[in-house]
């Protein structure tokens, strides 16, 4: 196994974030604070608790998941798109490194950054609302599973994209709406029919529900179903990445 | 006979659109040699290199690098190859030292600082090691690409048009570097359309055009075999046309009738020069100067590409 190669990519990607450390840290903290001021303070004070949980605390898992998804996709997609954009992809393709090792480097770095940001948001939330985590092990597992799965998704997006416009297209027009409609700020049980049923076709619902279950011991859907959907998404992304490297799609002529 | 460092057998490449960039190409490279692949733009030089390095998938054929199959045993094969691409493709936001160390690690080596220092010093980059690549001149950026390709101590170095767009001083520096690499046992394969580059550096030359390898030979043997010489006679009285009776020498007139030009084969026993001079004397055509010149690799190349295209 080319451990030096994996480490080189991982370090390179992490160093790229460290160059914009201020932006990487301040962005999530500021955004989280604004969400708590608007949703927790202005709106939340007028809302009753949801499923016995104060509204401010209720939105914490959704807020973390919102950032986790966008950061995972954003970091991984730019990580692999950038060598294509600058023309340095030739070095990756000509190196003695397997597809799996390449993915470990890029996806590992993107997932690490997302988890760190998730932890920062969690810490920031603690300043505004009481936080309790009923199943900490499950919370960490969901955090890792989601960040890895969506980093893989971002990796695929980065390989697919032929321009920065395409790179931004999926997060902006697909991921953000799915996350907002996936129960980040509400329980889908509050939705009238047929919107509740329609929501069940949104995979993000299962991720947020599962993550919320790890905090409060209850979610919109069964934890086993949430876990199965997250795993299925991970396996699908892995299969697509494997096919990309086997076929050379958008990588090799 | 020792196994070649690189053996390309029956390699062809047809793209999805139907364009065939390489036709059933065979090539053998020996350890420690400098091989120049000559060809016009679009001949298939970069495609061949890209296939050997793993950047492009071949349609047919096999490639063995130091005995390792480049497809099935690609890690062993690729770890022996360094590639300097034609384009200045490098991450502009990185420092010189960081990007060279990245390349070394990517190819499976530890970040060996003493070796990297040596490479950077050899390429006059050591003083710029903490500079961001965007701050460097074009020539310096090309040196960085060479440093990156050499960072993992490759046995074979591919230089794809190494001196395209660089100034004369840097070109000379690169030629010196290639000779130094050969002294250390590195095999160098360069593609170029600068004939003087091949003439200056190569041990063997291959000529490629329209995806077909037209010939491969020792540079000196090639120039001897195909090298034609030219005799130029500056006549005293300018001529309107080539005089009658001199057809068998296939002379041409140049320089407003002041120069008679005769192309001959120096390897022939009878070059035709004594009989030509005698024939001129018979016709009272006096000349005041006489000069012979040898055809360059460029002339040979142009002739080959023109004839066999």
Burial grade of A91 (CB within 10 A; 0-12, 13-18, 19 or more): buried
Q: Which DSSP string corresponds to A189-246?
A: GGSPTTHHHHHTT-HHHHHHHHHHHHHHS--SS-HHHHHHHHHHHHHHHHHHHHHHHH
CA distance B144 to B139: 9
Burial grade of B45 (CB within 10 A; 0-12, 13-18, 19 or more): buried
Per-residue pLDDT, B107: 93
pLDDT digits (tens, 9 = 90+) for B63-87: 999 999 998 999 999 999 999 998 8
Whether residues B110 and A4 touch (CB distance < 8 A) is answered with: yes
For B64, phi then psi, to 5°, come to: -120, 130
Strands B229-235 and B259-264: antiparallel
What is the percent of chain B with per-residue pLDDT over 90, rounded to a whole number? 34
B108 neighbourhood in chain A, CB within 8 Å: 2, 4-5, 96-97
Any idea what DSSP says for residue A39?
A: I
Inter-axis angle of helices A55-86 and A3-18, nearest 10: 110
pLDDT digits (tens, 9 = 90+) for B99-129: 999 999 999 998 778 889 988 998 888 999 9
Which of B53, B56, B106 minimises the CB distance to A5? B106
Q: Is B6-224 a domain of CATH 3.40.50.300? A: yes
For A10, phi then psi, to 5°, come to: -60, -50
- Binning pLDDT at 50, 70 and 90, where does residue B297 land? low
Which three-class secondary structure state does DSSP give residue B215? strand
Q: Where are the domains of chain B?
A: 6-224, 228-295
CA distance A214 to A122: 13
- The yes-or-no verdict on residue B308 having pLDDT over 60 is no
CA distance A72 to A149: 8
The secondary structure element, H or E, covering residue B275 is: helix B273-282
Residues 227-286 of chain B whose Cβ lies under 8 A from any Cβ of chain A: none
Which of A86, A94, A96 minimises the CB distance to B55? A94
> B183 with B16: CB under 8 angstroms?
no
> A158 with A78: CB under 8 angstroms?
yes
Distances (CA, A) of B5 to A41, B34, B65: 71, 12, 6
* Closest chain B residue to A90, measured at CA: B55
Give residue for tokens 């002379």: B251
> B128 with B147: CB under 8 angstroms?
no
> Cβ of B142 under 8 Å from any chain A Cβ?
no
> Cβ of B54 under 8 Å from any chain A Cβ?
yes
Give me the mean pLDDT over the B258-273 stretch.
82
Q: Which CATH architecture has domain B228-295?
A: 2-Layer Sandwich (3.30)
Per-residue pLDDT, B295: 64
Split chain A (253 residues) into runs of 10 and give each run's mean pLDDT: 92 85 79 80 71 81 89 90 88 91 92 91 87 90 92 93 87 84 82 84 90 88 90 93 84 70
- The yes-or-no verdict on residue B2 having pLDDT over 70 is no
Q: Residue-wise over B197-225: b if at least 16 C-beta within 10 A, else e?
A: bbbbbbebbbbbbbbbbbebeebeebbee
CA distance B37 to B39: 7
Please name which of A199, A223, A201, A200 lies closest in space to residue A210, comparing C-alpha atoms: A223
CA distance A137 to B21: 56
Per-residue pLDDT, A140: 92
Q: Where are the domains of chain A?
A: 3-247
> B87 with B75: CB under 8 angstroms?
no
Which three-class secondary structure state does DSSP give residue B95? strand
pLDDT digits (tens, 9 = 90+) for B222-256: 766 666 778 888 989 888 888 888 888 888 888 88
| Number of C-beta neighbours around residue A227 at 10 A | 18
Per-residue pLDDT, A194: 84
- Binning pLDDT at 50, 70 and 90, where does residue B133 land? very high
CA distance B267 to A152: 66
B54 neighbourhood in chain A, CB within 8 Å: 93-94
- The yes-or-no verdict on residue B1 having pLDDT over 60 is no
CA distance B109 to chain A (A): 6
How many A-B residue pairs are in contact by the CB < 8 A criterion? 82
For B22, phi then psi, to 5°, come to: -135, 140
Which of A9, A86, A97 minimises the CB distance to B91? A86
Per-residue pLDDT, B225: 66
> Cβ of B74 under 8 Å from any chain A Cβ?
yes
Q: Pick the residue of A3, A12, A93, A96 with the most B CBs within 10 A to test the interface with B by mutation.
A: A96
Q: What is the pTM of this model?
A: 0.81
CA distance B27 to B207: 11
> B48 with B39: CB under 8 angstroms?
no
Per-residue pLDDT, A253: 62
CA distance B299 to B305: 10
Give me the mean pLDDT over the B267-291 stretch.
85
């Amino acid at each position: 196994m080319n451990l030096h190669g994996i480490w080189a990519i991982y370090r390179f990607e992490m160093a790229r974030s460290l160059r914009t450390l201020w932006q990487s840290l301040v962005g999530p903290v500021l955004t989280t604070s604004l969400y708590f001021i608007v949703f927790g303070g202005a709106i939340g004070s007028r809302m009753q608790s949801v499923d016995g949980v104060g509204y401010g605390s209720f939105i914490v898992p959704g807020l973390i998941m919102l950032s986790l998804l966008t950061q995972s996709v954003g970091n991984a997609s730019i990580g692999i798109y950038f060598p294509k954009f600058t023309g340095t992809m030739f070095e990756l393709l000509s190196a003695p490194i397997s597809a799996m090792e390449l993915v470990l480097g890029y996806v590992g770095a993107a997932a690490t950054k997302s988890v760190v940001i998730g932890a920062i948001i969690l810490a920031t939330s603690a300043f505004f609302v009481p936080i309790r985590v009923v199943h900490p092990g499950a919370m960490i597992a969901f955090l890792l599973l989601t960040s890895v799965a969506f980093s893989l998704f971002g990796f695929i997006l980065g390989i697919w994209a032929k321009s920065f416009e395409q790179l931004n297209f999926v997060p902006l027009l697909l991921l953000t709406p799915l996350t907002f409609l996936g129960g980040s700020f509400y329980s889908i049980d509050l939705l009238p029919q047929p919107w509740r049923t329609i929501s069940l076709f949104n995979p993000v619902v299962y991720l947020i529900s599962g993550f919320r279950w790890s905090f409060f011991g209850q979610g919109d859907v069964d934890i086993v179903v949430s876990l199965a959907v997250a795993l299925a998404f991970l396996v699908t992304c892995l299969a697509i990445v494997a096919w990309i490297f086997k076929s050379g799609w958008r990588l090799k002529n | 006979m020792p196994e070649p460092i690189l053996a390309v057998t029956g390699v062809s490449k047809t793209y999805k659109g139907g364009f065939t960039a390489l036709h059933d190409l065979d090539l053998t490279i020996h350890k420690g040699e400098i091989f120049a692949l000559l060809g016009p733009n679009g001949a298939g030089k970069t495609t061949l290199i890209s296939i050997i390095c793993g950047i492009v998938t071949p349609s047919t054929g096999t490639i063995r690098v130091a005995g390792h199959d480049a497809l099935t045993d690609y890690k062993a094969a690729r770890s022996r190859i360094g590639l300097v691409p034609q384009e200045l493709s490098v991450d502009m936001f990185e420092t010189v030292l960081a990007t060279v160390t990245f390349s070394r690690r990517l190819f499976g080596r530890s970040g060996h600082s003493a070796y990297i220092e040596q490479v950077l010093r050899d390429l006059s980059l050591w003083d710029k090691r903490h500079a961001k690549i965007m701050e460097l001149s074009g020539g310096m950026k090309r040196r960085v690409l060479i440093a990156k390709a050499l960072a993992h101590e490759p046995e074979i170095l591919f230089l794809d048009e190494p001196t395209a767009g660089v100034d004369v001083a840097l070109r000379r520096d690169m030629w010196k570097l290639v000779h130094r690499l050969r002294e250390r046992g590195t095999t160098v394969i360069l593609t170029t359309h600068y004939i003087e580059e091949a003439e200056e550096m190569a041990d063997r030359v291959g000529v490629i055009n329209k995806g077909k390898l037209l010939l491969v030979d020792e540079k000196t043997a090639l120039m001897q075999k195909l090298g034609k010489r030219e005799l130029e006679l500056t006549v005293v009285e300018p001529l309107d046309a080539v005089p009658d009776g001199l057809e068998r020498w296939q002379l041409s007139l140049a320089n407003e009738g002041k120069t008679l030009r005769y192309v001959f084969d120096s390897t022939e026993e009878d070059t035709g020069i004594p009989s030509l001079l005698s024939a001129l004397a018979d016709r009272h055509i006096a000349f005041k100067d006489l000069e012979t010149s040898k055809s360059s690799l460029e002339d040979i190349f142009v002739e080959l590409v023109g004839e066999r295209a």
